[in-house]
Amino acid sequence: MSNATLSPRHIVTALIVIFLWGMNFVVIKIGLKGIPPFLMGALRFILVAFPAIFFLPRPKIPFKLMLAYALTISLGQFAFLFSAMAVGMPAGLASLVLQAQAFFTVGLSALVFGDKLRPSNLLGMLVASAGLILLGSASIASSAGQVTLAGFALTICAAFSWASGNVINKKIGPTAVLSLVSWSALIPILPFFALSLIFEGPDVIRHSLTNMSLSSGLTIVYLAFAATLTGYTLWGRLLASLPTHMVAPLTLLVPVVGLTAAWVLLGEALQPAQIMGALVVMCGLLINVFGSRLLARVRSVFA
């Protein structure tokens, strides 16, 4: 695993995940106009689990690992993220702040697995961090006061939940990822419905279900089949086949898609500073993923 490199297949897989998850934030923002956040979570995971579990075998992993995976990467991440966007977190900025998961993932993996980082990895993360700071500063400035402290805090909690799920995914190791995603989706359904009953109320649930618009219905379908079943299956395969420090930073490209999609589809303005921040993030990714290889080639030339 330590000598693993990104193949063309890995790169294509990562780009698909980046696009699906980047568009995810715009879809969520649209869906929240007709469905409250916790009910949206419950409906999402119902479609993820059914009918898939009738055609897929239960993953051969300890139940405690599947439970931990579901409570972090499914329930925790999306309960926090949907709530953050419901209280005003802009779609583009949410796509950015959530990528703090990359740093949480690397840190947690170092603690749990003893993963060692190369100098190029550290430099790449520093450069990408600078890009994220630039993106965040520009996004906050352009959001005209719409960003709340609660929205930021909830999104950071979502990022930590995602990172925790990544580490558990790594702990699970090679497995039938589609089966894991589908069967683990059974676990957050009832907690999401319970949260919806407590915080949103039966009247809101009834009204949302009986008056669901086409856009709300399509939102649930996208979140279940594109963002979850497809996105997390491909993501899990990347985590299982490559070192965590190579995979996690790739999602730093998600806000590039998220910010652009939010600008085009929702009218969230994309400022020159945001574009510059996106370019800096991409430079950091290039250093993180290809830095050691480029350095080795340079040394071979001058050796």
pLDDT classification of 4: cutoffs 50, 70, 90? low
Location of structure tokens 């080639």 = 297
> pLDDT value at position 169?
87
Q: Is the pLDDT of residue 137 over 90?
A: no
DSSP-based three-state secondary structure for 34: coil
pLDDT higher than 60, residue 2: no
Question: Which residues are CB-neighbours of 65 under 8 A, at least 6 positions away?
Answer: 168, 171, 172
- Does the pLDDT of residue 149 top 90, yes or no? no
pLDDT at 146 over 60: no
The residue behind tokens 């405690």 is 64
Decide if 60 contacts 118 (C-beta within 8 A): no
**Secondary structure of 73-107 in the HEC alphabet?**
HHHHHHHHHHHHHHCCCCHHHHHHHHHHHHHHHHH
> Which positions ≥6 away from 214 have C-beta within 8 Å?
none
Phi then psi for residue 107, to 5 deg, are -65, -45
Query: What is the pLDDT of the chain when averaged over all its residues?
Result: 87
pLDDT at 127 over 70: yes
Angle at 37 between CA 32 and CA 41, to 5 degrees: 115
Is the pLDDT confidence value at 102 over 80? no
Residue listed under structure tokens 């990408």: 128
142 confidence band (pLDDT: 50, 70, 90): low
pLDDT in tens, 255-282: 889 989 998 999 887 678 878 887 888 7
The mean pLDDT of 241-262, rounded to a whole number, is 81
Assign 261 to helix, strand or coil.
Answer: helix
- What is the predicted pLDDT for the residue at 253? 83
- How confident is residue 236, by pLDDT bands cut at 50, 70 and 90? confident
List, as one string, the DSSP characters of 171-222. Answer: HH-S--HHHHHHHHTHHHHHHHHHHHHHHT-HHHHHHHHHT--HHHHHHHHI
Lowest model confidence (mean pLDDT) among 171-180, 212-221, 225-234, 278-287: 278-287
DSSP state for residue 58 in the 8-state scheme: P
Q: What angle do CA 13, 19, 21 make, to 5 degrees?
A: 100
Residues 6+ apart with CB under 8 A from 176: 56, 57, 59
Rg (CA), the chain: 19
Do residues 64 and 124 touch, judged by C-beta distance below 8 A? no
Two tokens, residue 183: 């069967």
pLDDT score at 216: 94
Give the model's confidence band at 145: pLDDT under 50 very low, under 70 low, under 90 confident, else very high: low
Q: Is the pLDDT reported for residue 66 higher than 60?
A: yes
Residue 284 pLDDT greater than 60, yes or no? yes
